Each structure stands twice: as structure tokens, then as C-alpha cells.
A and B are shown apart, each in its own frame.
Chain A
């Protein structure tokens, strides 16, 4: 094992896949001259001249051209700068990349990756702070992943690049500078498989991305209260690994879903719904959701913190499904 940052882990994934396959190329706004707004592409342009490219501020082109390139024999990785800007290219996401393979009867693979830095960071305010997986969760034809650590960041990005289908890769902005252990040897993190981060027997928390560490921290504190929490890191949000969730709920009989995105219409609603459909008679309490209040993310840090979900919200939800006070 070595210890590197999440950002370095994504860079290693890019480097290894670009060395492995000459048809992999990457473009985005400010990734050459700046190295990416979070430094996640630093050094890559020099290693692969012509295959790492700055583009104009043209989001419909960034996504649409990735489709055209993928249909014609290359494997593009397109950087969205901020996940929020997916909205600018929504037709390309919802009507083009997600549907082409199906509409055309499976005539062509669509090996493309949309990298989308998301999440709340430093008063970035309403248009640069969102977790937008709910926007795209509803669209058949997309694969959506969200790493939670340097190791999963690298393994999932490598898998996404090798996948012959469109993958949206949500990378939380707060995670970039965080360090963690990453295997020395080559590995892939499989798409479609959740991982149990912490085993437990009283309550299952289903979570992903930045919230994994918040849930783990909350779980440590809850241990002191005698509550044993199992934390499941989904990693793939679409199609998510419901089997791992159900297996856990059958053991704990209680479930909380936690994400940074707003609660309404979020992935938590879908997971809660599937848990009650598939494991209703195992449940000893309603499935609870933890997420941001149903508001845009405000600028002032007092407001930002109030709107976002935190460890206390997670702990409160866990106690609640155990019918405990607090």
C-alpha cells in the first residue's frame, strides 16, 4: 500500500489507462493550462501530448462530442468542471448518450466517461455546490459511480474508462486533497458492487461519496452509546447493489440512507422504497433518509452548514430507527 491523495489517485487512473489504450483521451475546461480547477489533471498533458486538451466553455459540445467520439472508436473522458454544469448539457446526457445504444438496437458501444466534481465546498454557493445524482438517476442507459476514497477513486475511474457504456463519475470536491491507502499493484474497483465499510448488527446505513466518512465517524460515536452500525458504501449509484443492502437489512432490521444531496427525489427515496419492497417483513422501523434540506445551497457558511446534513443528523436518524431519544 501507498498513501496518496484522492486527486493523485484519479491522476494515476488516467495515466495507467492512457498508457494501456491509445484511444483514451481526455478534455475539459482548464485541464491543460491549469491542470484542472482542483489540480486533478496536473502533469498529465505533458505525458500525453495531444490527448489531454483544453476546450472552450461549451458544455453541450463537451458531452455531445464525447458521444460522437465513443461511437467512432475512441474512449473519451470528458471533464465537466463542476457537476452543476451537467444542466447545460442535459439533452446530451438524457437524450443522446443514455439512449443512443438502445435506440439503435445495440449497434455500437458507448465507452465514455463524464467526470463531474460535485458537492458542498467552502461557500461555493448554489450553482457550484450541488450533488446532482438525482437529476440523472431517473435516466435509463446511464451508469453512475461515486467514489469515497483514494482507493475507490482510482479503481472506479479505471473501471469506468474500460466500461463500454456511458459512465458519470461523481467526484466530491472535498475529497480531492484527502489522503488514503492505495494498492501498489494494478487493480479495478468493480462497477455495480457495494462495499461494507464497517460491519455492525443494529442498524444499516447506506451511503456514498463524502458521506461515507461522515457516517463512519457517526458510527464510531454511536458505538460509545452501545449501538453497532453497519456502513455500506454503494460506490455505484446506478445500477446500485441492492443485494448487499438487503442482506444487511435482513441482519440489522433497521435502515438509514444518507447522502449530501437534497432528500426530496434523491437516491435515498429510491433505496428506501426498494428496501421496503424487498425486505418489508424484516424491518423493525421505517427506513429514514438523511440529506440536505430541500433548499439551494446558500453562500453564507452559517446557512450552508444549516442546509447540509451533518453527523448529528445521521446519529439522530440512527437513534430514531432504534426508537431511542436524542
Chain B
């Protein structure tokens, strides 16, 4: 079934060569991080659960290129890519995955709770659909303080079936809040296909019920994502209210690292990866335009891998928390002020 298409103004065309290549660099950095994290997890160097963003990099890269550090995002359990694209540092992210004190959350959060408030990354979320209303609240802050800050809420196809989706979309539209809801429709909610679990043919169709603009784009085409986000973010910044942007993509890896993936065939995954890898597609496009060559791409990859390796070393060399650190950070005051809370 055809989806809600709109020709967005080609803001991408006006980007400098550096910025165009920069979109690829973000994607390559995310890929390098995730590829190494998978190995580290399988080698039991990282505990907990890890959900990889491989194959979806064009969305974070294309959307975030339209935001400043003052803008906010809310992320998901599959949030490493969002953090990197928003400006979080790979070394501190890696340290968090290792549970070290130098990690963004001092080892209290891990993969599902990475946040970097200094760049407006309001946190990954372990509860599917938990981010919508946090983004709405950020939009309220913008409204109350009369700033032009925008909040972007990333969410998956599975999350679009949560009740929180409804409450957040409704108030955002009623109050014309500067919130962009970016759906990453990667076709799979854990083991359940979107086609089975979601009544809407396209998740963007749901925007209509909220009197909100909703569009579907090819989420593996970073140019399309960039242009759509540019138009919607600019409109939100000018007070024109929220929008829903559905980015069609595909989850190349299992729901979590270690997922046996019995619910789909290897062939299906391979086909998507070979034919539709967002990095290959965009690198080829840049090469075709003479903006990139094989040597430059190889250098970019090597730099990204080195950044990740340095991050890993930083994480390894960093100290683990002291046991008593568990008492800190629960409240704005010291635990000794209310000893009965924790003792």
C-alpha cells in the first residue's frame, strides 16, 4: 500500500561537502561501535543486555544533523546510535557498558540507560514506549521558557502499540508542542513482526488521528531522512507543532546480542543487508558524486575503529565503582541526610 509521501525541500543539497561526508562519518562511527560491542558482549566482556543499532544508522545520523546540543532527544533500548549521533563520547559510552565509574552513568545504567545531558541526550529507556512523554515534557519546557528548543522522540514499531503513544501524540498536537516523533520501523518487535502486531499499514498513518502531519520515508536513505527531519524540525522550531516521521528500516541483528533468531531466516536478513545497507548505499552515492573515494572511506573506517579501540582501552583502564557508590545519585542530597532511606 502506498504511504504518505511528501516531497520535502532538498535542504541536503545546500550542505557543504564536509557536512555531507559528515553524515556518513556518523554512520560509520556508530557501525564501528556496535560491531565491536557485539564482539565484546559475546566474549562476556560486557554484562547485561545489549541491543544493536546496526542497519539503522541513517536515521540517527540524518535526524541529529538537524539538531543542536540545546535540542533534546529521548531514546530507546536500542539507543547507542542515538547517543553517538547526538554527540556523546564513545569512550564514556564504552566505559558505561563496562560498568565503570568513568561511564556516563558511573556504571549505574549500562547499555539500556545511557544518557548524556550535556548534549541533550535525555536517556535510553528500558521500557518500550517510555520515552514519548519525556519528550513531551521537554517540549513543555520549551513552551514555558519560550525557547526554540525542539525535542525528538525516537521509538520503534513495537512501541507504537503502547498506550503512551496515544497520550503523548494527543497532547503534543493539542498544545502544538515542538516534538518530532521519529519512528524507526525496523519490522521486528523482538520476535514479533510489525505486520502481525500493528493494525496500521503504516505507522505514520496514525498521525492523522491526532490531526498531525505524518510521513513515511526510506529510513535507510540518509538523504531522505535528513530532508524530512529538516523540514519537520524547522516547522516545530517555528511553533507549528509536532509531526510523526516513520523511517522504514530493517533490524539486521537479533533483538539482543545472543538472540537465536528462530523467527526469521538468515536469507531474509542477508538480503536486507546486501541490498539495503544504509552505509553502502550512501557511500556509493557520495562516490558517484565525486565526494568520496575508496581511500577516504577506508581512512574513515580506520579512524572510527581506532576511536572505538581507544574507547575500549579507556573503559578497561577505568576503575570499577566502590560498593558504597551504590548509595549515591538516588537523590539530590547526600544519603547521610536521610540515613533510613538506604541503611
B133-A92 in contact (CB<8A) = yes
CB distance from B80 to the nearest CB of A (A): 15
Chain B CB within 8 A of A100 CB: yes
CB distance from B88 to the nearest CB of A (A): 12
Which residues of A are found within 8 Å of B329, using beta-carbon distances?
101-102, 105-106
B123-A72 in contact (CB<8A) = no
Q: Mark A153-193, 1 if CB is under 8 A from B, else 0.
A: 00000000001110000000000000000000000000010
B167-A58 in contact (CB<8A) = yes
C-alpha gap A279/B47 in the complex (Å): 42
The interface centre, meaning the residue of A25, A74, A105 with most chain B CB atoms within 10 A of its CB, is A105
Chain B CB within 8 A of A199 CB: no
The stretch that binds B, out of A59-67, A201-209, A211-219, is A59-67
C-alpha gap A103/B105 in the complex (Å): 6
What residue in chain B is nearest A54 (Cβ atoms)? B174
A105-B170 in contact (CB<8A) = no
A64-B109 in contact (CB<8A) = no
Chain A CB within 8 A of B171 CB: yes
A105-B103 in contact (CB<8A) = yes
C-alpha gap A95/B128 in the complex (Å): 11
C-alpha gap A68/B134 in the complex (Å): 4
B106-A58 in contact (CB<8A) = no
What residue in chain B is nearest A163 (Cβ atoms)? B332
The interface centre, meaning the residue of B115, B163, B167, B333 with most chain A CB atoms within 10 A of its CB, is B167
Chain A CB within 8 A of B331 CB: yes
Q: A55-B171, A165-B331 are in contact. Are A64 and B104 (CB under 8 A)?
A: no
Chain A CB within 8 A of B340 CB: yes
Which residues of B are found within 8 Å of A106, using beta-carbon distances?
106, 328-329
Chain B CB within 8 A of A141 CB: yes
Q: A69-B140, A74-B140 are in contact. Are A64 and B105 (CB under 8 A)?
A: no
Chain A CB within 8 A of B215 CB: no
Count class of interface residues, chain A: 35 or more
C-alpha gap A76/B340 in the complex (Å): 27
Chain B CB within 8 A of A320 CB: no
CB distance from B47 to the nearest CB of A (A): 16
Contact of B141 among A72, A108, A141 (CB under 8 A): A72
Chain A CB within 8 A of B308 CB: no
Q: A61-B171, A64-B136 are in contact. Are A71 and B341 (CB under 8 A)?
A: no
B123-A242 in contact (CB<8A) = no
Q: Mark A72-97, 1 if CB is under 8 A from B, else 0.
A: 11101000000000000001100110
C-alpha gap A103/B124 in the complex (Å): 10
C-alpha gap A55/B168 in the complex (Å): 11
Chain A CB within 8 A of B144 CB: yes
CB distance from A244 to the nearest CB of B (A): 11
What residue in chain B is nearest A27 (Cβ atoms)? B140
A102-B133 in contact (CB<8A) = no
CB distance from B141 to the nearest CB of A (A): 4
C-alpha gap A165/B337 in the complex (Å): 14
CB distance from A238 to the nearest CB of B (A): 8
Q: A100-B123, A140-B341 are in contact. Are A71 and B137 (CB under 8 A)?
A: yes
What residue in chain B is nearest A104 (Cβ atoms)? B115
B340-A103 in contact (CB<8A) = no
Q: Which of B81-136 contact A (CB under 8 A)?
A: 103-109, 113, 115-117, 122-123, 125-127, 130, 132-136
Q: How many chain B residues have a CB neighbour from A under 8 Å?
A: 53
Which residues of A are found within 8 Å of B126, using beta-carbon distances?
95
Which residues of B are found within 8 Å of A66, using beta-carbon distances?
137
Which residues of B are found within 8 Å of A192, using beta-carbon distances?
337-338
Which residues of B are found within 8 Å of A286, using beta-carbon distances?
none
A61-B167 in contact (CB<8A) = yes
B134-A64 in contact (CB<8A) = yes
B122-A71 in contact (CB<8A) = yes
What residue in chain A is nearest B108 (Cβ atoms)? A105
C-alpha gap A59/B105 in the complex (Å): 29
A107-B127 in contact (CB<8A) = no
Q: A95-B127, A103-B108, A192-B337 are in contact. Are A74 and B133 (CB under 8 A)?
A: no
C-alpha gap A105/B340 in the complex (Å): 21
C-alpha gap A92/B125 in the complex (Å): 12
CB distance from B85 to the nearest CB of A (A): 19
CB distance from A295 to the nearest CB of B (A): 29
CB distance from A213 to the nearest CB of B (A): 26
Chain A CB within 8 A of B6 CB: no
B341-A239 in contact (CB<8A) = yes
B138-A165 in contact (CB<8A) = no
C-alpha gap A143/B340 in the complex (Å): 13
C-alpha gap A109/B333 in the complex (Å): 10
Chain B CB within 8 A of A240 CB: yes
Chain A CB within 8 A of B330 CB: yes
A108-B117 in contact (CB<8A) = yes
CB distance from B77 to the nearest CB of A (A): 13
Chain B CB within 8 A of A317 CB: no
A71-B130 in contact (CB<8A) = no
B145-A68 in contact (CB<8A) = no
Q: Which 5 A-B pairs have the closest CB atoms?
A: A68-B137, A64-B133, A106-B329, A105-B105, A65-B137
Given contacts A74-B144, A95-B126, A107-B116, 17 further A-B contacts (CB under 8 A): A23-B144, A56-B174, A60-B164, A65-B136, A65-B171, A68-B122, A68-B140, A69-B141, A102-B330, A104-B108, A105-B105, A106-B329, A108-B115, A140-B341, A163-B332, A165-B331, A165-B332
Binding site for B on A (CB under 8 A): 23, 25, 50-51, 53, 55-56, 58-61, 63-74, 76, 91-92, 95-96, 100-109, 140-141, 143, 163-165, 192, 238-240, 242, 274
14 sampled A-B residue pairs with Cβ under 8 A = A60-B167, A64-B167, A65-B136, A65-B140, A68-B141, A68-B151, A70-B137, A101-B330, A103-B105, A103-B115, A104-B105, A104-B108, A106-B328, A238-B341
